[in-house]
Structure 1
């Protein structure tokens, strides 16, 4: 993809974003409309030992920040619009460019005390696990870095947070159970050039697109949300084309199982994801490579609210490229010269959050990690020699 084409696309996104924001702000000036405008900004710092994460963090990295502004307008009792522009810089994983994070028209078909149903269209949020829909703002995350289920350092945010498409949703209360459903169909769309290099490494020019994808989520909230159980599913297909008639198709399936218990002072959360990949390459129409991969990850997390302003957090997190080879020994035997430690990651994290008022927040967390599966190879060129490493992450955020 040429730089000129990339620039044109970026300019087009900015123009559409400016028009959308201007329209919402202009519409909000009418006294009959109910509108809201909010924004956030957060600056992070990472200091790691042995390996780099979000920039040159072994020397201390400020190359981690995020900011956004969003607006919502209620034009009719059952029709609303919402849009957000955002920037995020996270080392090699994100480049800090302005993007349209989401832009949604929401039409509520049914709104009663015990039953709700509606339809959304535009660039919609995908319902995956407990945190994908709220991962954009640090105030709505349990920590600075999300668990490996959400692949924060593999640039999954821009790939699965939102997508152009249509979404149906609904909910029904039955006794102490509040059952909700969300189903989304995403249209085929291009992968940003800055993201392509993190997914595919080739010495020839190529273009990567996400084919039609879909996801659904079923959730049961019991006793006012004291207990929550959810199942999420995502299916998508990446399609790659090159100038040398090398064609790739990469099918991805995610199954996410989520459970949470909320008490007055503490919350316990656990999630587990099964990831299945079916990768195929053809050259000049002939099969060239067929590879299957079965990854998984999961975590157990506890949050304790000391006071309305202070929260403590602890988490045990594990990620494996192959759930049938958790030690990586089979992979290393089949790929001489490749370290088995690149196939797994065990992360123990403790953290604290201070909210002095409704606008400001301060986060601190320390990670002790065994394995290098969650590292970006472009930030840590192989061979990576340090299996055990650690990092301190700090972040200060403001919202209005």
Structure 2
């Protein structure tokens, strides 16, 4: 099979990968590719094949299971993004009670207050960067409060997590991971030694399953690492992608402004059409796996192209059309893969959806003249294949 060099596509692939994914889907559901960073892997581009890969037990999440090492995971400690059942099941079971629908819904008043305060500070200027003003601070404040992390540290967290999910170099990833995990170790120890507190880290320190099982120190750090990164990076780009996509689709924006009953549909369509996660996290073949006529050997790295799968015309009619009524239209509504599928489905999906709904509705209600700032120059797209979004979103209101 021909090795696809993604770097040959140039910067246009980062700005708009969808036409390239379409061409790949036309020639097969899986391709051997080399990423812009030089890493080689197999990319699954079809919806049905991608959904199947996300639940295929022949694909392991643990690099150690196939004799590989992933250095950031070694630094962070055991976490659910790099474990298979039963270890994954055990760790998720200890944390899942903190992310039930009822627990998440209880955060609504606080999320609304934070959103209002951020817009109070942002709107007098008349124009600005929506990422800095709203899309970034809202989820980082929420996750920091939830975990019990001081607000003053959120800017340094942004630098660390940006490098981890949208790396500029392997050395940068390692340095950021080491710094973040060292910080989390200190924070956990401070909470262990201090008075009982009503935050998630303190709760997890005390958490025990019915059989007395509890998180080890390394497992607690691993959970804090995943929750801090996944708990805000994806939501930052869900919010900014939703606003950007609506502003370049004025008919859809007008429909939403006229009927906020379409809000849930707008969020789900953003997740499908321009979701914040472009590819899955790593999987590895522990035995040969076939997609169509292509067999992937043992010990190979596999990524599921979530952005490609969610534009697959075999699954979604008119996939390149942004339609906020899609979820309510018979024959057009199909579940997307933006939050994954199977046992690794995103634990924080309800929280991300809630934050995005509140942010988007409040912004549109308070800014009837919201528009892109066309004088601000081209977008700076996030590098890498994991997170889909822009560093800045200049807007006027």
How does the TM-score come out when normalised to structure 1? Answer: 0.22
Question: For the pair shown, which has the larger CA radius of gyration, 1 or 2?
Answer: 1
Higher relative contact order (CA 8 A, sep 6+): 2
Name the one with the larger strand percent.
Answer: 1
Name the one with the larger helix percent.
Answer: 2
